[in-house]
Structure 1
Amino acid sequence: METTLRDLGTVAGAPASGDGVREIVGVLGGMGPAATADFFAKLVRATPARVDQDHLRTIIWSDPTIPDRTAALLSGGTDPTPWLLAGARMLRAAGAGVIAVPCNTAHAFLPSVQADVGVPFVHMIEETVLHIRSRLPRVRRVGLLSTTGTQASALYDEALRRHGLEPVVPQAAAQSRVMAGIARVKAGVVDERTAWLVASAALELIDAGAETLVAGCTELPMALEATEFDVPVIDPTQVLAEAVVAAVGRPHAA
């Protein structure tokens, strides 16, 4: 008998989510593939586990054909919503009980996707802002490194201001360097030049009064991995991984 996506959650006699195991985590990724792989590695590390069976059941849909989110927001590019919706529906059909999207800019398109799919999404941007308020209670000015699309959507700006925080964003020239750094990571080039492009913009934010930095594009933590600053750097990919682990929680009772 052919196994369909809908059967995957209980294939081969595996227990359903209410039978002593946790919800299946769906990852709506591919934006870009390296960022999705980075998220999964951080999800594994964030999970308190001693053996394989302690880890989370995870379904990853990595679709690099999803149209560019920044182009859709800024210049009339193809709306990525149909691709995001198709991926989320696939994850739901495969048994996902919670969905994570390791792409900051894609969150501008998620409200309609979640409304259609009806599966809870762990909201990367909201979780990042809550993380700042919880871990850095004295911080008020937050430097935001992100795509120009995320900047234009004001997703972080609005979330930060709701929680009494002030966003500090790059000037045009610095923002161009951030985008160039992101493009290099997407092309598989993570080197000193890539780090300098992003770090130089970060230092300008610190000079402008930022008390912490948010690496608000999932390529940016990879670009900044070997760079140190005088202020804390928040990695939303790591925050999302920890939030997913918290959302899924302990296994349900059998």
Structure 2
Amino acid sequence: MNRSKAKRVVGILGGMGPEATILLQQRVLATVEATDDSDHLPLLIDMNPHVPSRIAHLIEQTGEDPGPCIGAMAQRLEAAGATALAMPCNTAHHYAQAVTSAVSIPFLNMVDLSVVKAASRMQPGQSIGFLASPAVQSAGVFDEALNKASMQAVWPEDGQRMLSIIREIKAKGPTAQARQTLGEAAHELTTKGATLLFVACSEFSLIARDLPKDFPIIDTVDVLADAIHDHTTANEVPL
């Protein structure tokens, strides 16, 4: 069935980090069965690698607040014609209010959407194991959504080890050491009673498909890609 061209376009708050933003583009691309360029979904992308460090602000408590910069990016994307916004950085969702208060268009909140998807697969009281930056844990990025869904969080014991492989991936790209460390963290979380694993760091999303396939996993970047697809195509009308 042919469909009219989508009139909606999602604006991407990107650059946190650049590879993760490109990965989101690839995942959005994969949501479409295309036979020609025009079948794909339009995106507006603000690729800004100069957003102040979320780690410096949340963990080291020495850096500039990224919120105003992220809010300004949101305003630029809305002015450019975006009909919704998305951000592929899990940690940056700590600053989601800076986005929503700056614009009048919807924000496709990757955190909330991912917890809703997990809740459809789990029973209340069960635990999600988080493969994420320690900043996600310390800032409580997922806490409100998990509480609403009556679900628990399980975290790796060594948060600094997780942070070190995030920095390694940012500096060197996916490495064998990063893959090994992420796999070991996944095993640790399953032994702690996690029913399902969240890949909740977009650097980890770059290597998530190398994780063992014998345990249920939700990659938050995949959830966001699906939400972008759904928003963009929601007003398409069969011809």
- The two structures have a TM-score, normalised by structure 1, of 0.85
Q: Hey, what does 1:190 align to over in structure 2?
A: 174
Q: In structure 2, how many angstroms separate the alpha carbons of the residues matched to 1:20 and 1:62? A: 25
Aligned positions, number: 233
Q: Is the counterpart of residue 53 in structure 1 residue 38 in structure 2?
A: yes
Q: CA RMSD in A?
A: 1.9
Could you tell me the TM-score, scaled by structure 2's length? 0.90
Establish whether residue 108 from structure 1 lines up as the match of residue 94 from structure 2.
Answer: yes
Which residue of structure 1 lines up, in the alignment, with residue 228 of structure 2?
Answer: 244
Give the 5 Å matches for 1:112-191.
Answer: 112-134=98-120, 136-138=121-123, 140-171=126-157, 173=158, 175-191=159-175
Q: Structure 1 regions of 5+ residues with no counterpart?
A: 1-18
* Identity within the alignment, %: 33
Q: Does structure 1 retain, via aligned residues, the 8 Å contact 2:68–2:98?
A: no
For residues 85 and 157 of structure 1, the distance between their equivalents in structure 2, rounded to whole angstroms, comes to 22
Is contact 1:66-1:83 (8 Å) kept? yes
Given candidates 26, 31, 38, the residue that maps to 1:41 is 26
Q: Secondary structure at the match of 1:117?
A: coil
SS at match of 1:214: strand
Q: 1:130 Cα deviation (Å)?
A: 0.9
User: Secondary structure in 2 aligned to 1:108?
Assistant: helix
Report deviation, 1:97: 0.6
For the 8 Å contact 1:180–1:197, the answer to whether it is kept is: no
C-alpha distance in 1 between matches for 2:234 and 2:103: 24
Q: Which amino acid aligns with 2:21?
A: T
| Paired residues of 2:74 and 2:102 also in contact (CA < 8 A) | no
Higher gyration radius (CA): 1
In 2, Cα distance between equivalents of 1:126 and 1:102? 13
Q: Is 1:209–2:209 an aligned residue pair?
A: no
Question: Quick check: 1:143–1:169 contact (8 Å CA) kept in 2?
Answer: yes
Q: Which residue of 1 aligns with 2:206?
A: 222
Q: Is the 8 A contact 1:181 1:223 kept in 2?
A: no
Which of 71, 82, 85 is residue 99 of structure 1 equivalent to?
85
Instruction: Give the letter for the 2:230 counterpart.
Output: A
Segments of 4+ in structure 1 off by > 3 A?
Answer: 250-254
- 1:60-88 per-residue CA deviation (whole Å, 9 max, x = no partner) reads 11100111112212314110112212211
- SS class of match (1:225): helix
State the SS of the aligned residue for 1:167: strand
Q: CA deviation at 1:226?
A: 1.6
